[in-house]
Amino acid sequence: MNRFLYYGWSAEAIPGYNCTDYKPLVPNPNVNVLGGALDVAYGIIVIFLYAPTVVVFHRQSRLACFKIMFFLGLFDIGAIMINSLVTGFLLMNGASYCDYPNFIYISGSVGLGCWCSACLTCLVLALNRILDMVCPLMVKIYFRGYRTCAVLMAPILYGCFFFLFTSPIIFSAEHQTWFFDPRTMKGHYKDYTNIPHTINNFSLVFLTCFLYIFFCLKVRSQFRKSFRPKRTARQRQIFLQSTLLCLIHLSASVLYVIMQFVEMPKFFTILSQYLWQLAQGCPVIIYLLFNRKVRAALLVFMTSSSQDKSSNYIRKSADNRMMLLQLTPSQNTTTAVRKLTENDNYLQCKIHLTQGEPPKQEETIQDRADTEKREL
């Protein structure tokens, strides 16, 4: 991205990214309306599920794990916007780099930065969970209060490094996925190799998988002494969550690295694209399916929102009915007013004025007239 800014906000001005020899194909054989529509639909569904979940994580951010998952959710949403929504749009139009050079260059930089930030955030989350089980004192030292935000500055800066100082991924409609090679010069794919991305995909992802395996073994050792069905089910859930996350991330990482160096069949390039989409979208699905605390917090959030709307409606209705309840000579008038206005100081004063036998309508009007004369 720094070269994009250096060469005057123009991707075509960057050496190796010019499109002087590009000739659009008519008709375009790379148009795939169905595949693009499926990508867009998947992206919309994942963002629809992730948005309220991220809000719940923010509200529960007093706990370090929820704060980490909040940042992970932001990175995943950013990546989903690129690898699903943008990819679907480009695929429906059969567009490659030279059709929208600036748009694809910027989108590729954003998608790469979000992917790498999410990888390091997953590693931080795994470390937090292991330290919480093995050494809770270290969790208090490094993940207490605003110290968690200081730790999470590492994934943010890490992603900014890839966004600004490394080669972006470029969409190829022919292969329906993203490569580092813009395909503007045949036989020069090695000139576009992104070594930091290769290191990221092998080191961080493998290390995260190793930590999750260690986490599962630690959970098993703690539950070994107990044969209660609930603990056994909890152990299976943790193992299943970790296994799914590791397999999807590992498969997407390895395939994306291999296809940058080796010419692979189109089936594998499309599979790598779907695995990338799944790797960024599966966390929210796993949270909602297997994490009881996240489901409970999301349920409380949704029900509290609906209760707030109901209470606002009741409060407005109470304001409109107040005079009618006060002037109606009924034995239940005082009780009705108290129920509708129990949290309103002004209307509570009205309750004190109407205690005892409800006054007649004529007497109430006369008292009001006497009060107005005194004020005059």
pLDDT tens digits for range 211-226: 888 877 777 776 665 5
Residues in the chain: 376
Is 132 inside a domain boundary? yes
Which of these, 118, 56, 122, lies nearest to 300 by C-alpha position? Answer: 56
pLDDT at 103: 94
Is 349 inside a domain boundary? no
Is 87 inside a domain boundary? yes
Torsional class of 8: left (φ above 0), alpha (ψ -120 to 50), beta (otherwise): left
Is 12 inside a domain boundary? yes
CATH number, residue 280: 1.20.1070.10
Listed as ranges, residues in the chain with pLDDT below 70 are 185-190, 222-236, 238, 304-376
Is 205 inside a domain boundary? yes
What is the DSSP code string of 130-157? HHHHH-HHHHHHHSSTTHHHHHHHHHHH
Is 315 inside a domain boundary? no
Give me the residues paired with residue 76 across strands: none
Residue 76 sits in which domain range? 1-19+32-223+238-303
pTM of the predicted model, to two decimals?
A: 0.76
Which of these, 196, 184, 180, lies nearest to 259 by C-alpha position? Answer: 180
Distance in angstroms between the alpha carbons of the first and the last residue of the chain? 75
Which of these, 164, 162, 185, 181, lies nearest to 172 by C-alpha position? Answer: 181
Q: How many domains does the chain have?
A: 1
Q: CB of 117 within 8 A of CB of 65?
A: no
pLDDT at 85: 95
pLDDT tens profile 110-168 = 999 999 999 999 888 888 888 887 887 888 888 887 888 889 999 999 999 999 999 99
Q: CB of 79 within 8 A of CB of 163?
A: no
Is 318 inside a domain boundary? no
pLDDT at 363: 45
Backbone angles phi, psi at 322, to 5 degrees: -60, -50
Q: What angle do CA 126, 80, 234 make, to 5 degrees?
A: 35
Give me the residues paired with residue 170 across strands: 179
Residue type, 107: S
Is 326 inside a domain boundary? no
